[in-house]
Amino acid sequence: MMKKMSLAVVGLAFSGAAMAQCSADIHATDQMTWDKPTINVPADCKEFTVKLHHDGKLPKATMGHGWVLTKTADMAGVSSAGMAAGAANNHVPQGDARVIAFIPLVSGGETHEVTFDTSKLEKGGEYSYFCPFPGHFAVMKGKLTFG
Residues from 34 through 73 that contact Co ion (CB under 5 A)? 65
Q: DSSP secondary structure string, 2-29?
A: HHHHHHHHHHHHHH-TT----EEEEEE-
- Residue 134 contacts residue 64 (beta carbons within 8 Å): no
Q: Does 24 bind Co ion (CB under 5 A)?
A: no
Q: Which of 78, 92, 131, 144 binds Co ion (CB under 5 A)?
A: 131
d(CA 102, CA 68): 4
d(CA 39, CA 147): 11
Q: Does 136 bind Co ion (CB under 5 A)?
A: yes
Number of amino acids touching Co ion (CB under 5 A): 5
Q: Does 106 bind Co ion (CB under 5 A)?
A: no
Residue with smaller CB distance to Co ion, 65 or 146: 65
Q: Which of 48, 67, 127, 133 binds Co ion (CB under 5 A)?
A: 133
Residue with smaller CB distance to Co ion, 45 or 140: 140
Close Cβ partners of 76 (under 8 Å, ≥ 6 residues apart): none
CB of 36 to Co ion, least distance (A): 12
Residue with smaller CB distance to Co ion, 88 or 97: 88
Q: How far is CA 94 from CA 66, 85, 124, in A?
A: 14, 7, 27
The binding site for Co ion (CB under 5 A) comprises 65, 131, 133, 136, 140
